[in-house]
Amino acid sequence: MDIKREDIKHLAELSEFSLSEKEIDSLQGDLKGIIGYISQLDELDTDNVEPTYQVFEMENVWRDDEILPQEADREALLALTKETKDNQIKVPKVL
Amino acid sequence: MKIANKKVTAERLVKDALAKAKHFEDYHIFTFIDEEGALKRAREIDAKIAKGEDVGRLAGVPYALKDNFLSPRGETTASAHILEGFTAPVTATSVKKLEDEGAIMIGRTNLDAFAHGSSTENSYFGPTLNSHDRERVAGGSSGGSAVAVALDIVEFATGTDTGGSIRQPASFNGIYGLKPTYGTISRYGVVAMASSTDCIGFFTKTPEDMDLLMSVASGQDPKDMTTLPDYYNTEAGAKSDNSRLAPSRPSLRGSGAHSAPVVADGLESSDSCTRTIGIIKEFDNESVHPEIRRALKEKCELLKKKGHEIVELEMPALKYGLAAYYILVPAEVASNLSRHDGVRYGFRSDKAVDVDSMYGETRSEGFMPENKRRIMIGNFVLSSGFYDAYFLKAAKARTLIVEEYAKAFSKCDFILTPVSPNPAFKLGEKVDDPVAMYLEDVMSVSLNLAGVPGLAIPAGETPEGISLGLQLVGPRRSDKALLEFAKELE
């Protein structure tokens, strides 16, 4: 299928990327090639075949609903971020 | 492997490993070396040995940690710019288990950023060089770990395998690499790539060392709901040397999102030690490097001489495994990597003026080109209008692959196949051509889609001295039997 520059821009938006014009160009070529390759699945007959999303053998692994001690406390987690204020993570303006 | 005792101190073992790491510095194996921390740990273990205390099954054994395992020692970067500066406040369960047995991490190893790649060239820190030929790639994504073991710097190294990332670099460097049955080792504290196929495993120089590591690391973890109850250290697993694998297994067909429980492949007792080994017809053609075909043929002859039977298998759906993989895995990648947004940890771009540009600029600067390709492909195959044609189609293809393996293991005990169609290629040869790079994974990815274990085994060298490897594949939970049988191929 044809992958247009507009398609790349849309996918970049879905992916939260700010791409340069040059990157859009090279990704257009790359994605066209990859989508061309994966499209060969069209050849495979999958009529009446159910999908498999995971291959783990167990279903519904339960645990008790209780609060367990955590390895990392609030202070350790906040220390990982770039900026904090009043014990909260600070980000650039939202609105 | 060499374990520390009263005669050989942990400090000696660690010092030797550190000296070798320094000697091979220009191979770009490590992203971080913890000389001080490793020596401190070694001295603690030596003090315990002197007092006659229990120091564990891996006492003083130096190892290398793939840099996508979380531990507070050194930054966990996954070789990606976006995680630079991230020092994990938690320790991966697998790391904790190894260290509880006395193993000593000397450093973190290079990988393709976020384990996306088959050559370690997609690392933000640059490529790792092949242990046998410095003009060739180390393989990937766990390239640093494979080379650290192949150059004898450490006794073992950790790896992750989502589509071949342990087996392929192991074969590119002439060592053993195991991708266990899905769910054998906890993934808690390991940077997620594709949750339905991600597996933790190891690189070693012998099957015996691998067995020891598996027995240490396997088992259910309340922090990872997709871990199996420990089968590896149970009687059924231990009996593998004189047992025959169950002839059939229930189908996963119709499993859907909420899969019905599937009875594990058990091991049945039998007096015979001879095995039936399947060879995949579709992987024996001109597209496979002649030296790899020769190595496979030689190993088959060796097995026949030892009384094992070789049968040819037809597995036509495997041909579509790669296309299915490069739909399903990017979809999971797009989801798993959406958490890297510059807010809570790691790198945040200085170009951010508002919250949207913080996400966009941070992710654009922080991810490597291959990360971006996979995230965008993932968002493409999941978008409305394309979901049925790509994602759903690939999930159905996955069912056919699972069934094909089930059928194969009704005819044989193990399958012996190449790991990849070519031995280690030249640096730079495929890095700008994503499809050419993906094609190197054509023989490794279907195991991950089916959840079955695969062991890369060394299979000699080409006349030019480039390592060759093959993989031994078994039904689920046959990991111990696989390692046992690998000794037949030495």
pLDDT tens per residue across span B436-489: 999 999 999 999 999 999 999 999 999 999 999 999 999 999 999 999 999 999
What average pLDDT score do residues A59-79 get?
Answer: 90
Active site residue B297: no
Burial class (CB in 10 A: 0-12, 13-18, 19+), B378: buried
Question: At residue B153, does pLDDT exceed 70?
Answer: yes
Tokens of B371: 């990360």
Nearest residue of chain B to residue A37 (CA atoms) = B323
Per-residue model confidence as pLDDT tens digits over B176-227: 999 999 999 999 999 999 999 999 999 999 999 999 999 999 999 999 999 9
Predicted confidence at residue B284, as pLDDT, reads 87
Q: What is the mean pLDDT of chain A?
A: 94
Question: For residue B246, what pLDDT is reported?
Answer: 40
SS3 B468: strand
pLDDT score, position B374: 98
CA distance A86 to chain B (A): 15
Higher pLDDT, B352 or A61: B352
pLDDT in the model for residue B424: 98
Q: CB neighbours (10 Å) of residue B287? A: 10
Q: Read off the tokens for B65.
A: 């940690």
Q: What is the pLDDT of residues B368-406, one digit of tens each?
A: 999 999 999 999 999 999 999 999 999 999 999 999 999
Contacts of A23 in chain B (CB under 8 A): 364, 369, 372
On average, the pLDDT of chain B sits at: 93
Is the model's pLDDT at B425 over the cut of 60?
Answer: yes
Is the CB of A63 less than 8 angstroms away from the CB of B222? yes
Token readout for B185 is 């080792």
Confidence of residue B272 (pLDDT cuts 50, 70, 90): low
How high is the pLDDT of residue B40?
Answer: 98
In tens, the pLDDT along B305-338 reads 999 999 999 999 999 999 999 999 999 999 999 9
Q: What does the DSSP assignment read for B317-375?
A: GGGGHHHHHHHHHHHHHHHHGGG-SSSSSS---TT-SSHHHHHHHHHHHHS-HHHHHHH
What is the rounded average pLDDT of the residues B237-264?
Answer: 38
Chain B CB contacts of A19 below 8 Å:
364, 372
CA distance, residue A46 to nearest chain B CA (Å) = 6
Most B CBs within 10 A among A16, A32, A63, hence the mutation to make, goes to A16
Query: What is B59-115 written as a DSSP string?
Result: TT-EEEEETTB--SSS---TT-GGGTT---SS--HHHHHHHHTT-EEEEEE--SGGG
What are the strands of the beta sheet with B156-161, ordered from one edge? B30-33, B104-109, B62-66, B156-161, B199-204, B176-179, B454-461, B467-473, B414-418, B276-280, B309-313
A38 → closest Cβ in B91, B326, B392: B326
- Would you state the pLDDT for residue B247? 35
DSSP structural state of residue B56: -
Q: B198: which 2 tokens?
A: 């991600």
The CATH number assigned to the domain with range B10-324+389-489 reads 3.90.1300.10
User: B225 pairs with which residues across the strands?
Assistant: none
| C-alpha to C-alpha distances, B127 to A3, B14, B25, nearest whole angstrom | 31, 25, 13
The residue-averaged pLDDT of B228-254 equals 56
Residue among B79, B119, B123, B141 flagged as catalytic: B141
- The pLDDT of residue B112: 98
Residue from B165, B171, B186, B243 carrying the catalytic annotation: B165
Reference B29, options B203, B163, B232, B256; nearest CA is: B203
In angstroms, the CA B331 to CA B325 distance is 10
Among this protein's residues, is B349 annotated catalytic? no
Classify B276 as helix, strand or coil: strand
Task: Evaluate whether B181 touches B452 at the Cβ level (below 8 Å).
Answer: yes
Percent of chain A with pLDDT over 90: 83
Give the residue from B173, B67, B65, B181 showing the smallest Cα distance to B125. Answer: B67
Q: Could you give the CA distance from residue B279 to residue B318 in angstroms, rounded to a whole number? A: 13
Residue B263 has pLDDT above 90, yes or no: no
Q: Which residues of A touch B262 (CB under 8 A)?
A: 57
Give contacts of B445 with chain A, Cβ < 8 Å: none
* pLDDT given for residue B257 in this prediction: 35
Which of B86, B226, B320 faces A44 most closely, judged by CB atoms? B320
- What confidence category does residue A61 fall into, taking pLDDT thresholds of 50, 70 and 90? confident
Fold of A5-43: Histone, subunit A (1.10.20)
At residue B262, the pLDDT reads 36
- More confident call, B253 vs B462: B462
Q: Say which residue, B328 or B263, is predicted with more confidence.
A: B328
Residue B229 has pLDDT above 60, yes or no: yes
* B224 phi, psi to nearest 5 deg: -135, 105
